[in-house]
Amino acid sequence: MKRLFDYLKSQWKKILIAFIALILVDIMQILYPQYVRKAINLIKSLSTDTDKSYWISVLWHYAFIMIALYLAVAIFRLVYRWFLRTVAVSYDHQLRMAIMDKYLSFSERDLQKFDIGDLMSRLIRDTRSVRRFIMMGTIILVDLAVLGGMTIVTMVSMSPYLTLVSVPPMIILTLFVLWAGSYMQKKFKVMLELFGEMTERVRETAVGIKVIKTFVREDFFMKLFEQINDRYIGTGVKLFTLQSSFWPLSSVVVGLSLVIVLWVGGDMVMSGKMDIGTLVSFMMYINMIAWPMLSVGMFITVYSMSKSAIQRIDEVLTYEPEVKDTGTREIEGVSNITVKDIKDDIVLKGVSFSVSKGQVLGITGPPGSGKTVLMKYLPRLWQPGDGMVFVNDIDVNDIRLASLRRHFSYVPQDPILFAGTVRDNIAFARPDATEEEIIWAAKMACVWDDIQALPKGLDTVVGERGITLSGGQRQRVSIARAFLAGKDILILDDPLSAVDTHTERCIIKNLKEYVAQHSPLTIIVSHRIPAIHWADYVLVLEGGKVLEEGTPEELAERDGLYSRLYRYQMGGDVE
Amino acid sequence: MKLLWKYVKRYWIWAVLGVIGMFLQIFFKLINPYLIRILIDQYILKNDFVGATRMMYLILGFTLGVGIPLIFSSWAINVLTFKVMKDIRMDMFRHMMRQGLYFFSKTPTGVIVTRITNDVASVGDVLAGSIPAIVSDVFIITGVWVFLFLVNTKLALIELVFAPIIAILAIGFGRWLRDLYSHIRDVRATLNIKSQEILSAIPIIQVFVQVPRIRKDYEKTSLEYRNSLFKAFFITDIFNALSGPVLKTSMQATAIVAGGYLILRGSSTIGDVVAFLTYINYLIEPIRDIADKYTMIQDATSAIMKIQRFMNENWYIPDAENPHTGRPEGYIRYDNVHFAYPGTKKEVIRGVSFEALKGKKIALVGFTGSGKSTLLNLALRFYDVNKGAIYVDDIDIRQWKKDDLRSGAAVVLQEPFLFKGTIRDNITLGRDIPLEKVIDAAKRVHAHDFIKDLPNGYDTMVLSGGANLSVGQRQLISLARALVHHPSILILDEATASIDSETERLIQEGLEEVMKGRTTLMVAHRLSTIREADKILVLDSGRVVEEGTHEELLKKRGLYYELYMLQWASGQ
User: Is residue B414 included in any domain, yes or no?
Assistant: yes
Min Cα distance B47 → chain A (Å) is 5
Quick one: A99 and A205 in the same domain?
no
- A382 found inside a domain: yes
Is residue A77 within 8 angstroms of chain B, CB to CB? yes
Is B229 in the same domain as B355?
no
B131/B186 same-domain check:
yes
DSSP B242-265: IIIIIHHHHHHHHHHHHHHHHHHT
Higher pLDDT, A176 or B403: B403
Chain B contact set for A236 (CB, 8 A): 78, 82
On whether both B203 and B169 belong to a single domain, the answer is: yes
Note whether A75 and A164 are same-domain residues: no
The answer to whether the Cβ–Cβ distance between A93 and B112 falls below 8 Å is: no
Q: Do A379 and B101 touch (CB under 8 A)?
A: no
Picking from A295, A291, A283, the residue whose alpha carbon sits closest to that of residue A256 is A283
In this structure, the answer to whether residues A313 and A446 fall within a common structural domain is no
What value does the mean pLDDT take over residues B17-34?
94
- Are residues B364 and B284 part of one domain? no
On whether both B272 and B382 belong to a single domain, the answer is no
Is B317 part of a structural domain of the chain? no
Q: Which among A202, A270, A410 is the nearest to B117, CB-wise? A: A202
| ipTM exceeding cut-off 0.90 for this assembly | no
| Pair (A151, A166) in one structural domain | no
B395 and B501 part of one domain: yes
| Residue that terminates a domain, selected from A289, A322, A355 | A322
Q: Let me know if residue B270 belongs to a domain.
A: yes
- Kindly give the pairing relationship between strand B387-392 and strand B489-493: unpaired
Arithmetic mean of pLDDT over chain A: 88
Same domain, B22 and B165: yes
- Inter-chain touch A565–B369, beta carbons under 8 Å: no
Nearest-Å Rg of the Cα atoms of chain A is 37
A482 and A347 fall within a common domain? yes
**pLDDT reported for residue A303:** 83
Q: Report the domain count for chain B.
A: 2
**CB contact A498 to B (< 8 Å):** yes
Q: What is the pLDDT of residues A316-344, one digit of tens each?
A: 999 999 999 999 999 998 999 999 999 98
Q: Please give, one letter per residue, the 3-state secondary structure of B125-137.
A: HHHHHHHHHHHHH
Of B45, B63, B259, the CB nearest to A255: B63
B427 and B489 inside one domain: yes
* Residue count (chain B): 572
Question: Which member of A78, A217, A542 has the closest CB to residue B570?
Answer: A542
The enclosing domain of A71 has a CATH number of: 1.20.1560.10
Same domain, A211 and A354: no
- Structure confidence at residue A575 as a pLDDT band (50, 70, 90): very low
Q: Does A214 touch chain B (CB under 8 A)?
A: yes
User: What residue in B sits closest to A233 (Cα-Cα)?
Assistant: B82
CB contact under 8 A, B202 and A367: no
Q: In whole angstroms, how large is the CA radius of gyration of chain B?
A: 36
Same domain, B39 and B158: yes
Question: Scanning every residue of chain A, which has its alpha carbon at the shortest distance from the alpha carbon of B413?
Answer: A211
A95 within a domain of the structure (yes/no): yes
Put simply, whether A58 touches B (Cβ < 8 Å) is no
Supply the CATH number for residue B43's domain. 1.20.1560.10
Residues B350, B292 share a domain: no
As a whole number, mean pLDDT of residues B501-528 equals: 85
Q: State whether A408 and B45 contact (CB < 8 Å).
A: no
Q: Is residue A360 included in any domain, yes or no?
A: yes
When pLDDT is cut at 50, 70 and 90, the band that residue B570 belongs to is very low
Give the residue from B399, B378, B400, B395 showing the smallest Cα distance to B387: B378
In a domain, A373, yes or no: yes
Dump pLDDT digits (tens) for B50-92.
Answer: 888 899 899 999 988 888 999 999 999 999 999 999 999 999 9
Hey, is the C-beta of A509 within 8 angstroms of any chain B C-beta? Answer: no
Q: What is the CATH number of the domain that holds B373?
A: 3.40.50.300
**Residues B392 and B272 occupy one common structural domain:** no
Last residue of a domain, one of B312, B342, B366: B312
Residue B324 falls inside a structural domain:
no
CB contact under 8 A, A255 and B128: no
User: A39 and A103: one domain?
Assistant: yes
- The tally of domains found in chain A comes to 3
- Domain encompassing residue A536: 336-569
Q: Which amino acid is at B384?
A: D
Window 412-471 of A, Cβ < 8 Å to B? 412, 416-419, 428-429, 431, 463-465, 471
Rounded to the nearest angstrom, the minimum Cα separation between A536 and chain B is: 23
B241 to A66: CB separation less than 8 angstroms, yes or no: no
Chain A to chain B Cβ contacts (< 8 Å): 386
A498 in the same domain as A386: yes
pLDDT at residue B9 greater than cutoff 80: yes
Are B570 and A365 within 8 A, CB to CB?
Answer: yes
Same domain, A141 and A64: yes
Is B18 a domain residue?
Answer: yes
Q: What is the pLDDT of residues B422-436, one digit of tens each?
A: 999 999 999 999 999
A137 in the same domain as A103: yes
Do B383 and B235 have their domain in common? no
Give me the helices (H) in B357-499, please: 372-379, 402-407, 423-428, 435-444, 448-452, 471-484
Considering the domain architecture, whether residues A447 and A312 belong to the same structural domain is answered as no
Q: Are residues A351 and A269 in the same domain?
A: no
pLDDT range class, residue A255, cuts 50, 70, 90: confident
What is the residue range of B51's domain? 2-312
H or E stretch at B171: none
- With a cut of 60, say whether residue B571 has pLDDT above it: no
What integer pLDDT is reported at residue A572 of this predicted model? 45
Does residue B543 sit in helix, strand or coil? strand
> B536 lies in a domain?
yes
Q: How far apart are CA A172 and CA B430, in angstroms?
A: 52
Three-class HEC string of B506-540: HHHHHHHHHHCCCEEEEECCCHHHHHHCCEEEEEE
What's residue A50's pLDDT? Answer: 64
B320 in any annotated domain: no
Please list every residue in chain A whose beta carbon sits closer than 8 Å to the beta carbon of residue B481: 215
Q: Is residue A284 part of a domain?
A: no
Partner residue facing B196 (CB), from A120, A200, A236: A120
- Assigned domain for A293 exists: no
Instruction: Please name the residue of chain B whose CA is at the shortest distance from the CA of residue A572.
Output: B558
Q: How many CB atoms lie within 10 A of CB B20?
A: 14
